[in-house]
Amino acid sequence: MNDYLPETTPIWAGVEATLRELLTGYGYSEIRLPLVEQTELFARSIGAVTDIVEKEMYTFADRNGDSLTLRPEGTAGCVRACLEHGLLHNQVQRLWYLGPMFRHERPQQGRYRQFHQIGAEAFGMAGPDIDAELICLTARFWKCLGIQEVTLQLNSLGSSAARGAYRDRLVAFLEAHLDRLDEDSRRRLYSNPLRILDSKNPTMEPVLAAAPRLMEQLDPDSRRHFDGLLELLEVAGIAYEINPRLVRGLDYYGDTVFEWVTERLGAQATLCAGGRYDGLVEQLGGRPTPAIGFAVGLERLIALLSEAGYAGLKTDPDAYLVTVGEAAGRQGLMLAEQLRDRLPDLRLQLNCGGGNFKAQLKRADRSGARLALLLGEDEVKAGGVAVKFLREAQPQQTLPQERLTEFLAACLDDWRRLAEYNPIRAGEV
């Protein structure tokens, strides 16, 4: 579980702001959910023999003896909330959420015990149009963040009947090659054989390459759905690879599944994973409701962006107010509060804790501020303020204090236009 320090939080803020704006732009509404749910919810939805439920959940008894679990993912809680608050009655819903998830995994690069996901869920739409929309939305995430080296992988897990029949064929095939299966795969052979296809162990590669493919045994409805999706992706100009071995680690998926993967992150290559889960709402006590969603792993996305030098949302102050002497300290506080009233988006850092002129200027520089505002004995007497540019070759000047608001407003106008220029709104992506 990580601490995220001030040097990296601007990257988080930038990513979150971009993704939030895109989700909102596609008509998705935010939903905020508790971090803890009844353990049973996850056992019933994710599946009892999945990695998550078998060995990754943080489960504890609360003071009443109820078994609770820190959420390992967002979909189950989202469906629970929708059912509890009647959000799915005869209507479609497009929802998104952002927050920490918890899994007791072996920590390694790109794999943590508390990690963050931004996810979206769309309910009530059965056709491939919504699958295509969600994929277009995720493609736009990468486009707007300037990420190029990602590939879309697609598969269809078919209907549950087709999956059942396929499962039997797969088990029979794997039984015939028992001596070539690794320990993990033998353990899963009867409990969760589809998951064996997802094995990352290279020694399993030749057996798995020869395994029968679910994609070749889809029933006509699933085939039509999948072909419909491929056609829409072509219309949208989104390139994809079909990966017949793509399965998800959670039991509730069927038909469309997809992942965005990158070669830049080593073994933990999946940035975003999603798929259709038409059976889950009913399984959790609601009326049958088609549904599809995805989740983006933010730590992996941010690792990729940091490596590419993405700056995120700048948080350095615009100005740093230096005050030397007691009278200047008093006047400085008043002036600062006045400026904050008049210029609500001004980022102004006030020197606190004293220090001589030189020491304070050093702090001003270290703060990253563009301007130092200087208030010494002379300025206090004259009702002025000296302005020193810290990042530009411009001469220092002294202004009457009552002109400072106007002066700063003009500076902010210029800087905001350059620094917080938003490529999404500017229509340049």
Point out which residues bind ligand ATP (CB under 6 A): 73, 103, 105, 110-112, 115, 117, 248-249, 268, 270-273, 295, 297, 299-300
Question: Per DSSP, what are the bridge partners of residue 387?
Answer: 373, 397
Under 8 Å between Cβ of 411 and 422? no
User: Residue 248 binds which one of ligand ATP, Mg ion, none, with CB within 5 to 8 A depending on kind?
Assistant: ligand ATP
The whole-angstrom separation of Cα 182 and Cα 192 is 14
Distances (CA, A) of 59 to 37, 92, 250, 429: 10, 33, 18, 44
User: Residue 112 binds which one of ligand ATP, Mg ion, none, with CB within 5 to 8 A depending on kind?
Assistant: ligand ATP
Closer of 273 and 361 to ligand ATP (Cβ): 273
What single string gives the DSSP state of each residue in 126-164?
-SHHHHHHHHHHHHHHHHHHT----EEEEEE---HHHHH
Q: How far is the CB of 253 from ligand ATP (least distance, A)?
A: 9
Q: Are strands 241-242 and 151-156 parallel, antiparallel or unpaired?
A: parallel
Closer of 98 and 273 to Mg ion (Cβ): 273
Q: How far is the CB of 51 from Mg ion (least distance, A)?
A: 6
End-to-end Cα spacing for the chain: 35
What does the longest C-alpha to C-alpha distance in the chain come to? 93
The whole-angstrom separation of Cα 335 and Cα 277 is 58
How many CA atoms lie within 13 Å of 386's alpha carbon, on the beta-carbon side? 19
User: Residue 134 binds which one of ligand ATP, Mg ion, none, with CB within 5 to 8 A depending on kind?
Assistant: none
User: Residue 75 binds which one of Mg ion, ligand ATP, none, with CB within 5 to 8 A depending on kind?
Assistant: none
Q: Which of residues 396-425 bind Mg ion (CB under 5 A)?
A: none
Q: How far is the CB of 395 from ligand ATP (least distance, A)?
A: 51
Closer of 249 and 317 to Mg ion (Cβ): 249
Closer of 159 and 243 to Mg ion (Cβ): 243
> What count of other Cβ atoms lies within 10 Å of the Cβ of residue 187?
14
Q: How far is the CB of 103 from ligand ATP (least distance, A)?
A: 5
Q: How far is the CB of 226 from Mg ion (least distance, A)?
A: 25
User: Residue 332 binds which one of ligand ATP, Mg ion, none, with CB within 5 to 8 A depending on kind?
Assistant: none
Which residues, other chains included, contact 360 with Cβ-Cβ below 8 Å and sequence gap of 6+?
322, 323, 324, 351
Closer of 249 and 325 to Mg ion (Cβ): 249
How many CA atoms lie within 13 Å of 88's alpha carbon, on the beta-carbon side? 24
Closer of 82 and 261 to ligand ATP (Cβ): 261
Q: Which of residues 3-22 bind Mg ion (CB under 5 A)?
A: none
Closer of 295 and 371 to Mg ion (Cβ): 295
Closer of 114 and 338 to ligand ATP (Cβ): 114
Q: Taking CB positions, which residue lies at the least distance from ligand ATP?
A: 297
Q: How far is the CB of 72 from Mg ion (least distance, A)?
A: 9
Binding mask 231-260 for Mg ion (x = CB under 5 A): ------------------x-----------
> What count of other Cβ atoms lies within 10 Å of the Cβ of residue 174?
23
- Both tokens of 55, joined, read 């060995």
How many CA atoms lie within 13 Å of 54's alpha carbon, on the beta-carbon side? 10
Closer of 117 and 351 to Mg ion (Cβ): 117
Number of residues counted as binding Mg ion (CB under 5 A): 1
The whole-angstrom separation of Cα 153 and Cα 225 is 16
Q: How far is the CB of 112 from ligand ATP (least distance, A)?
A: 4
Nearest to 42 by CA among 280, 357, 386: 280
Q: How far is the CB of 98 from ligand ATP (least distance, A)?
A: 12
Q: How far is the CB of 211 from ligand ATP (least distance, A)?
A: 18
Which residues of this chain interact with Mg ion, rule CB under 5 A? 249
